[in-house]
């Protein structure tokens, strides 16, 4: 894939706050990329720098290999959809969508054709004469999308695009965003703090921590092979157990368990996903644990068990429906997992 945008050692400070710390990133043409991170990790700052609303203190931003630091936002083939949508309340839907085209000097007739096509793309044919306040939240978001797409950007930046939508709309809108991305061929870069959203939508995900990229890769790789404790915990649900490498594998005192697998000498913790742990009648040795079920929560597909281990730590175990009736609160259980599912973490 050809690189569209490259950020090299981008640093940005706000007074004493280091928002971006010599961050490197390459976005490929036509990819769906997610910047995932907690509050204050630098996601919005990076998006604003790419859009041109903010200037980095140092570092380079290259589009097709050419520095664009001096290019004003409107002259970049980049468009940003804000979380607030930022629609003009006094303008009709069609005029909102036409706004950028008119400013760019596109003739009225051509603008009208492109606006109609953009509204059709987001399934808002026939809504052109309405005002923003006559639309639902989801429809307002589509107008904002149409307004961005009508400019035919090569790169579309989306700040928490699903953030303001209710649960029912989020899934549908997510699929629609992906369809639009494929149709237009533009690269999409989405900022989100929601790991499910990032994993579901993006071709590649960068996890940000303190203005740096903690890990970058395809969703499945990040989910199954987190590189650090931060990433494992941030992606949610994984068990992270501290300890140290030993002769037999990895000894975790807090678990009272020995983990066997591909353990390097510098391993400081291991991650183990709840759905990889099985409840069995009996087992002994590494990669097994004996514990007591402290609580159980039915979730539809599975039951989440909280199992207190001998060392005191609590392990989250997803007990699949197809494995039969789950153990109940207070039951003593034996757990086991495969060596392949033990993920060694070096930091
Ligand atoms: N204009 C500003 N003035 C001062 N500090 C700022 C400014 N913008 C951002 N910061 C600080 O820079 C850091 C990164 O902020 P940023 O908005 O990029 O984070 P974020 O990951 O987008 O967070 P959130 O998910 O809460 O929006 C934070 O510590 C923030 O307080």
**DSSP collapsed to 3 states, 232-301:** HHHCCCCEEEECEEECCEEEECCCCEEECCCCCCCCCEEEECHHHCEEECCCCCCCEEEEEEEEEEECCC
The pLDDT of residue 292 is 97
Q: What CATH class is the domain 3-224?
A: alpha beta
Give the pLDDT confidence score for residue 162 in this predicted structure. 87
Task: Please tell us whether the domain made up of 238-345 is placed in CATH 2.40.50.140.
Answer: yes
Question: Coil, helix or strand for 212?
Answer: strand
Distance CA 146, CA 156 (A): 11
Rounded Cα distance between 197 and 328, Å, is: 32
Ligand 1 pocket, mutate which of 19, 54, 157, 161 (most atoms under 8 A from CB): 19
ipTM of the complex: 0.95
The set of residues, in sequence order, having a beta carbon less than 8 Å from that of 255 and lying 6+ positions away, is 241, 243, 289, 309, 310, 311, 313, 315
Residue 298 confidence (pLDDT) above 90: yes
User: Tokens 């995932």 map to which residue?
Assistant: 36
Give the model confidence (pLDDT) of 188-198 as tens digits. 999 999 998 99
- Output the CA 16–ligand 1 centroid distance in Å: 12
Distance in Å, CA 180 to ligand 1 centroid: 29
Give residue 214's pLDDT.
95
Distance 341 CA to ligand 1 centre (A): 36
| Average pLDDT of the residues in 144-152 | 93
53 Cα–ligand 1 center, Å: 14
CATH 2.40.50.140 segments of the chain: 238-345
**pLDDT band at residue 320 using 50, 70 and 90 as cut-offs:** very high
Rounded Cα–Cα distance for residues 102 and 119 (Å): 16
Ligand 1 pocket, mutate which of 13, 16, 17 (most atoms under 8 A from CB) = 17
In this predicted model, what pLDDT tens digit does every residue of 79-121 receive, in sequence order?
Answer: 999 887 889 999 999 999 999 999 889 999 999 999 999 999 8
Q: What count of other Cβ atoms lies within 10 Å of the Cβ of residue 58?
A: 12
Q: Is the dihedral of CA 167, 173, 177, 179 positive or negative?
A: positive
Question: CA-CA distance, 19 to 56, in Å (whole number)?
Answer: 10
Q: Dump pLDDT digits (tens) for 216-264.
A: 999 999 998 899 999 998 887 789 999 999 888 999 999 999 999 999 9
Q: Is the CB of 13 under 6 A from ligand 1?
A: no
Question: Which run of H or E residues covers position 307?
Answer: strand 302-308
Q: Say how far apart CA 260 and CA 265 lie, in whole Å.
A: 13
In the chain, CATH 3.40.50.300 sits at 3-224
pLDDT tens profile 29-88:
999 999 999 999 999 999 999 999 999 999 999 999 999 988 999 899 999 998 878 899
């Amino acid at each position: 894939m050809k690189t569209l945008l490259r950020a090299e050692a981008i640093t940005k400070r706000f007074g004493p706050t280091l928002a971006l710390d010599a961050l490197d990133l390459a976005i490929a043409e036509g990819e769906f990329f997610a910047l995932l991170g907690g509050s204050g990790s630098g996601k919005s700052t990076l998006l604003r720098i790419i859009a041109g609303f903010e200037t980095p203190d140092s570092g380079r931003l290259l589009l097709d290999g050419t520095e664009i630091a001096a290019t004003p936002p409107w002259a970049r083939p980049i468009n940003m959809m804000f979380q607030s949508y930022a629609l003009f309340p006094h303008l009709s839907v069609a005029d909102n969508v036409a706004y950028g085209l008119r400013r760019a000097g596109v003739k009225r007739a051509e603008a009208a054709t492109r606006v109609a096509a953009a509204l059709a793309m987001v399934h808002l044919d026939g809504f052109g004469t309405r005002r923003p306040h006559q639309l639902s939240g989801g429809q307002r978001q589509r107008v904002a999308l149409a307004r961005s797409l009508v400019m035919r950007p090569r790169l579309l930046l989306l700040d928490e695009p699903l953030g303001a939508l209710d649960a029912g709309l989020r899934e549908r809108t997510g699929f629609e965003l992906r369809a639009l991305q494929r149709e237009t061929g533009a690269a999409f870069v989405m900022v989100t703090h929601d790991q499910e959203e990032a994993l579901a939508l993006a071709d590649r995900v960068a996890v940000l921590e303190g203005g740096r990229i903690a890990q970058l890769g395809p969703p499945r790789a990040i989910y199954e092979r987190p590189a650090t404790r931060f990433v494992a915990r941030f992606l949610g649900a994984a068990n992270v157990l501290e300890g140290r490498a030993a002769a037999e594998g990895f000894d975790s005192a807090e678990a009272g368990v020995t983990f066997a697998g591909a353990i390097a000498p510098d391993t400081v913790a291991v991650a183990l996903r709840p759905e990889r742990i099985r409840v069995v009648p009996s087992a002994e040795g590494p990669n097994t644990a004996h514990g007591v079920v402290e609580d159980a929560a039915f979730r539809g597909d599975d039951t989440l068990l909280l199992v207190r281990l001998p060392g005191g730590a609590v392990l989250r175990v997803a007990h699949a429906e197809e494995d039969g009736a789950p153990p109940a609160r207070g039951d003593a259980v034996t757990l086991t997992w495969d060596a392949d599912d033990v993920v060694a973490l070096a930091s």
